[in-house]
Structures are given as C-alpha cells and as structure tokens.
Amino acid sequence: MILTYRRKGIHRIMQAIEVAGIADAVAVCEARAAMLPLILTLDMNGAPYRWVTWQHACFYYARNLVAWSAGDENLTFYGGISRATGRRSSITTNSIIAIRGRPVASRGWLQVPPLSNRELFQRDRHVCAYCGNGYASQRLTREHIVPLSQGGLDLWMNVVTACRACNQRKSGRTPEQAGMQLLYAPYVPNKAEYLILSNRRILHDQMDFLAKHVPVRESRLLRRAC
C-alpha cells in the first residue's frame, strides 16, 4: 500500500509493505498519515465551520460537494493503478474548502465553544494570570476566579490559566480575598479563534483566513501576534 502526497511541489512518499507476519509498516504509514495537516471547511457563506481530515476532504471532492476553495496550499494524494487504463488515480484537496449545502456555520457562530484545558492555556498563551510567568502545559492549571466552593461556574469568563504555585496560594478564595491581582481578564473565544486554538498543525493560509474573523481587541492570541 503506497500513499503519496504532494504539497507545493515537494513529494513525500509514505510506503507500507505488507509481508506475512510483518504489520509494523502499516502502522507506521497510518501514523505518518495522521501527521498531515487538517483541512479547514467553510459553509457556503464562507464562514469557518470545522476541521476535517484529508480523508474527509477527499470524500467531499469525490462526491462533488466542494463549492469553492480559498487556500494557498494544495495536497495531492495518489492511489492505485487502474488495470483498465494503466493510470494511477489521484485527488487534490485545497487547504480551505467550502462545502455545498445550507449554511451551517452561522447558526453556531454565537454558540460558546467547549471549554478544555488545552484551549484555555492556548487562549492565555501559557502565561499565569497571577505571576505573569510562562510555563509548559504540565505546570499549568485551570483556575476559577470565583471558586467553585463559593458558587463560581466552570465557564470561559470565570477561568484563567495559573501555575500550580499560584493556584495553591490562592486556594479556595477570590483574588480579592487572597490579595492577588489578575494580570489579564478572561474572555470567550469566538468560533474562528477556537478553531485556531484547537489545531496545533495549522497552516499559514488557514491562520490568515481565520484571523480575519477574530476581533483583535478581544483576542489575546492576535494581540500578541501583532
């Protein structure tokens, strides 16, 4: 089984040879395929919708569900050779594609994205809200400004990133009660920013496209990038 893809003229070949009793090559091929960039999908109005794998993107192209594309990157995938024609099959997907059908992204545009530690730490740039130092994810915690024990909620607007030392020092108190000052305010990322936060392998053209849909005044992510 051979999977080849081309990106901007650079060929990368991932080959898995199945031999009796040897299946490691297949696992290696699948692992490498999982490292490919995700494809950004839009609705018919051009609103960011979700990330999909290259397999899903190829499915959309095969079913003629791609209305138009907006990315600078193209990935070409090659399959097997046809016995009838002797030609090798291939399919090319753009890095940003609009899917035919009723606009769906706009309906969820105002919905609050799910809260998770990974996206929270990304939103706050891995910086502790109390001491201002940057840390790796393993040394950070989700800190509730108003503690859960005092009726605080587990929501974007009530959580910030804190190092373990500051979290322990604050304990079950509010910042005022603990005499600790918040260095930045929490905010709810919109759909476009959440897509940025949730993808670690985002391409430059995808980042540029999503950034245009993120309010710079509210986003700590874009303010730092600027």
Tell me the average pLDDT across 127-136.
97
Q: Is residue 16's pLDDT more than 90?
A: no
Write down the pTM of the prediction: 0.79
Confidence of residue 125 (pLDDT cuts 50, 70, 90): very high
Beta bridge partners of 2: 15
Provide the 10 A C-beta neighbour count for residue 211: 17
User: Nearest CA to 125 among 197, 28, 25, 206?
Assistant: 197
For residues 65-86, give the mean pLDDT.
90
Note the pLDDT of residue 57. 96
Residues 6+ apart with CB under 8 A from 111: 191
Q: Can you read off the two tokens belonging to residue 165?
A: 């030392």
Q: What is the pLDDT of residue 80?
A: 85
- As beta bridge partners, residue 92 has 76
Of residues 209 and 35, more confidence is placed in 209
pLDDT category of residue 8 using cuts at 50, 70 and 90: very low
CA 173 to chain centre: 33
Distances (CA, A) of 189 to 77, 119, 125: 34, 9, 13
Domain boundaries, the chain: 2-108, 117-178
pLDDT score recorded for residue 10: 39
Amino acid letter for position 107: R
Q: E strands within the chain?
A: 2-7, 10-15, 39-42, 48-52, 66-69, 74-81, 88-94, 96-99, 140-144, 159-163
CB 43 within 8 A of CB 98: yes
Residue 22 has pLDDT above 70, yes or no: no
DSSP 70-90: --S-EEEEEEEE-TTT-PEEE
Q: How far apart are CA 208 and CA 203, in angstroms?
A: 9
Residue 17 has pLDDT above 70, yes or no: no
**Range with top average pLDDT, 22-26, 28-32, 157-161:** 157-161
Task: Output the CATH code of domain 117-178.
Answer: 1.10.30.50
